[in-house]
A and B are shown apart, each in its own frame.
Chain A
Amino acid sequence: MRQGRLERRAAMATLLAGRDDDLLVVPGLGSTCWDLAAAGDNDRNFYLWGAMGGAAMIGLGLALAQPKRRVAVITGDGEMLMGLGALATIGIQRPANLAVIVFDNGVYGETGMQPSHTQSGVDLLKVAGACGIGICLDVRDEAGLADLAKRLKGLRATLFARVLIEASDPPRVLPERDGVVLKQRFRAAIGIES
């Protein structure tokens, strides 16, 4: 475990503290999904139990469809690496209501803590910036996290944030896993008739 990094569950709780009904959240599969569930279940969460590499693109489709609401994709470094092209796609669409936040611990936590590319120098922040995402935040401490939480409440431009977290493995908190249920309750919560 790298010292001095943020703890993932606390980081998620800080980002979602005082969450309003206009914030829609899509985690990646695995650890960020459990983190999101641990922060409190919400019909406006669309938990992923699979579709690795797809979180940011689900966020993009959702952000384009719901321009008056804010969308936060909160995923891990491994999940983001699998869908790196999504940053290029988002970089040219740039919906003002989309934030892509990567909890970067440099390891694949779900599979036994094998090192990810970010541990060996791949810099997701630079990738996001090079893809044209204008606001790229390097979040390393509580102050940075508080700033990100504040920006999330008043999102006005596409944002990317890398949150450096420690490589911990807190107990799993498992949300609903029936995909149809998750989809229907999400749509109902934001007022879409089925």
Chain B
Amino acid sequence: MTEPSINWPDQLFATFKRAGIRQVGYVPDAGHARLIDRCRADAEIRDVVLTTEEEGVALAAGAWLGGERSALLMQSSGLGNCINMLSLARTCRFPLLMLITMRGEWQEFNPWQEPMGSIVEPVLKLCEAEIFRARTPDDVEGMAERAVQLAFGDERIAAVLLSQELIGKKVWTK
């Protein structure tokens, strides 16, 4: 994988800082590795590693009840783990900013990633989320900014989907 001309994970981090994000929930993910590292290194952001993504939906609700903004990082398979918990965000109109790295599409090596990856968008739509699909590095920052506005301004679910082309092909070294 060549170094992209635009460092979109750093742009996402800068967006978090501008938006005043204070809690970041995540399940470790290769596509989000850089962003996770930046969050972990930041003294103002509490990084909360989760055992499953649905914990992060509840974490975000608690953060907002307490007056803090948060973000939730996951890969596409993780969305499936969240579905019932998304009722919390919908019923109470909690802001939920989700950044989802996509699997199961471009150059996917692992067919087990395809069933969930292929239904991320319709599932989010059914959950009344606002969906932004970033396909190139140029797309990421503007979409993330808009998602921040929608999530925290309108108290809605906003998801930025980071296409697999952006992340690069998974390299199998073992």
Please give the residue numbers on chain A whose beta carbons come within 8 Å of chain B beta carbons, in ascending order.
Answer: 24, 26, 46, 49-66, 83, 85-86, 88-89, 92-93, 179-180, 182-183, 186-187, 190, 192
Interface string of B36-73 (1 = CB under 8 A from A): 00000000001011111011111111111111101000
- Report the bound CA distance from A54 to B68 in whole Å: 18
Q: State whether B65 touches A54 (Cβ < 8 A).
A: no
- Among A57, A64, A65, A187, which residue has its beta carbon within 8 angstroms of that of B58? A57
Q: Assuming A57-B55, A57-B58, A61-B62, what are 7 further A-B pairs, CB within 8 angstroms?
A: A62-B62, A63-B66, A85-B52, A179-B88, A180-B92, A182-B92, A187-B65
* Interface status of B110 (Cβ within 8 A of chain A): no
Q: Which residues of B contact A182 (CB under 8 A)?
A: 92
Q: State whether A85 touches B50 (Cβ < 8 A).
A: yes
* Interface status of B94 (Cβ within 8 A of chain A): yes
* Interface status of B119 (Cβ within 8 A of chain A): no
- Among B50, B65, B84, which residue has its beta carbon within 8 angstroms of that of A89? B50
Q: Which residues of B contact A24 (CB under 8 A)?
A: 65-66
- Report the bound CA distance from A88 to B66 in whole Å: 22
Known: A85-B55, A190-B67. A61 touches B60 (CB 8 A): yes
Main secondary structure of the interface of A (DSSP, over half): helix
* Interface status of B107 (Cβ within 8 A of chain A): no
Q: Which residues of B contact A86 (CB under 8 A)?
A: 51, 55, 58
* Interface status of B85 (Cβ within 8 A of chain A): yes
Q: State whether A183 touches B68 (Cβ < 8 A).
A: no
Number of interface residues of B (CB under 8 A): 32
Q: List 20 A-B contacts (CB under 8 A).
A: A24-B65, A46-B65, A51-B58, A51-B85, A54-B58, A56-B58, A57-B56, A58-B61, A59-B62, A61-B58, A61-B62, A61-B68, A62-B63, A64-B66, A65-B63, A65-B64, A85-B52, A180-B92, A180-B93, A190-B66
Q: Which residues of B contact A89 (CB under 8 A)?
A: 48-51, 55
- Among B23, B87, B88, B94, which residue has its beta carbon within 8 angstroms of that of A65? B23
Q: Which residues of A contact B60 (CB under 8 A)?
A: 61
Q: State whether A53 touches B54 (Cβ < 8 A).
A: yes
Q: State whether A50 touches B61 (Cβ < 8 A).
A: no
Interface string of B14-40 (1 = CB under 8 A from A): 000000001100000000000000000
- Among A85, A179, A192, which residue has its beta carbon within 8 angstroms of that of B93? A179
Q: Which residues of A contact B48 (CB under 8 A)?
A: 60, 64, 89, 93
CB B44 to nearest CB in A, in angstroms, measures 12
Q: Which residues of B contact A183 (CB under 8 A)?
A: 64-65, 92-94
Q: State whether A187 touches B92 (Cβ < 8 A).
A: no
- Report the bound CA distance from A52 to B49 in whole Å: 20
Chain A, Cβ-Cβ closest to B50: A89
Chain B, Cβ-Cβ closest to A86: B55
Q: State whether B62 touches A57 (Cβ < 8 A).
A: yes
